[in-house]
Amino acid sequence: MAHSNHSTLDAIKTLKDEVQKSIIGQDYVVERLIFALLANGNILVEGLPGLAKTRAVKSIAKVLEAGLSRIQFTPDLLPSDITGTEVFYSDGGKEQFKFQPGPIFNNLILADEINRAPAKVQAALLEAMEERQVTVAGKTYKLPDLFMVLATQNPIEQEGTYPLPEAQMDRFLMHLYIDYPDEESEQKIIRLVRGEENKAKDKGMESVKITQEHIFKAREQLQDIHVSENIEKYIVDLISATRHPEKYSEDLKKWLEVGASPRGSLSLDKCARVHAWFNGCDHVTPDDIRAVINDALRHRLILSYEANAESISSNHVISEVVKLVAVP
């Protein structure tokens, strides 16, 4: 790797270390958030409240000196509450409309409890994610180059929530599950927050900053990560196994209702390249693919009634696929 590649990788690793200092016991989540940022994708996180999802995004925004919007999704939210709206105002006797940008016009967007909002609002957010632009009253407004949505959804109180349609789930690059931290981490969390409260008293603490330029440089370097024809074939075979499970095993056939879309292959390719780059490698190996396949695919499979009845998870199905598909 060239020198500049190293300095960029070092900067991104520093970003990860800095964020991990303030988020204990969730190293995996922090790493995946940074992966999504590098891959220029969006991420859906599922986990119980209070597991530092907000904190993780805030911490990334702080180190990158990036803008952060937090949108709390509620049943009475309107699309314009997200995108912004045309405001009528008069200026020296001249009356005109002016666009007032909504919270979506920022670098990092925390979309909290996305499944609490009605479909129209979800669609407005997802259009912004997909098109990287917003259209209001016939005019189109571009979103910033550094733009990532981290949406959270709550697994527990499914009452009164609007589950995301499959086609919309498919637009997230990765879907993460967050679990409780272990007991040792929990103790560290108590100390960390207590320490921060003391620190707040003596303001002016120096903190490490990384420029957004490093993210853009890393994105350029990802283009140079080599993906051999064999690896491409491996990606295609894995995705194909989710669509034609009958070729592989009776169980897979029984568990899978609908396989992954072409977005699944693209996501695997992108995430595997980021994984290789992050580990200082210039080409993708089957291990890179296996490292990211669960997060890249778990929200893209529709499991059958039988699978649900037998409590078979997407993770389990993906592990089976990985076991059964030969590495070319």
Q: Could you tell me the two tokens for 198?
A: 């003391």
Regarding whether 168 and 112 lie in a shared domain, the answer is yes
Indicate whether 19 and 79 sit together in one domain.
Answer: yes
273 pLDDT band (50/70/90 cuts)?
A: very high
DSSP string for 27-73: HHHHHHHHHHHHTT--EEEE--TTSSHHHHHHHHHHHHT--EEEEE-
- Half-sphere CA count of 15, side-chain side, radius 13 A: 32
Task: Output the pLDDT for position 204.
Answer: 47
239 and 259 Cβ atoms separated by less than 8 Å: yes
Supply the pLDDT for residue 125. 87
Looking at the structure of the chain, the number of domains it has is 2
Residue 183, classed as helix, strand or coil, is helix
Written in H, E and C, the secondary structure of 108-133 is EEEEECHHHCCHHHHHHHHHHHHHCE
Task: Specify whether the CB–CB gap between 295 and 271 falls below 8 A.
Answer: yes
Beta bridge partners of 112: 72
Residue 259 has pLDDT above 50, yes or no: yes
Q: Report pLDDT digits (tens) over 120-166.
A: 888 888 888 888 988 887 888 899 889 999 888 876 555 556 677 77
State both tokens at 163.
């589950």
| Secondary structure E strands in the chain | 43-46, 68-72, 84-91, 94-101, 108-112, 133-136, 139-142, 148-153, 174-177, 256-258, 302-303
* Domain end (from 130, 163, 190): 190
* Residue 74, in any domain of the structure: yes
> 314 and 235: one domain?
yes
* pLDDT tens-place string over residues 76-97: 888 889 988 888 887 777 778 8
Across 22-29, average pLDDT: 74
Give the other-Cβ count within 10 Å of 166's Cβ. Answer: 13
State the residue for tokens 């550094």.
Answer: 146
Residue 202 lies in a domain: no
Domain termination residue (choose one: 190, 214, 236): 190
CATH of the domain at 231: 1.10.8.80
In the listed set 142, 163, 190, which residue is the last one of a domain according to the structure?
Answer: 190
Highest mean pLDDT: which of 86-100, 105-119, 186-200?
A: 105-119
Determine the structural domain holding residue 25 and report its residue range: 3-190
Average pLDDT, the chain: 82
For residues 115 and 104, the model is more confident at 104
The mean pLDDT of 208-230, rounded to a whole number, is: 87
The answer to whether residue 163 is domain-embedded is yes
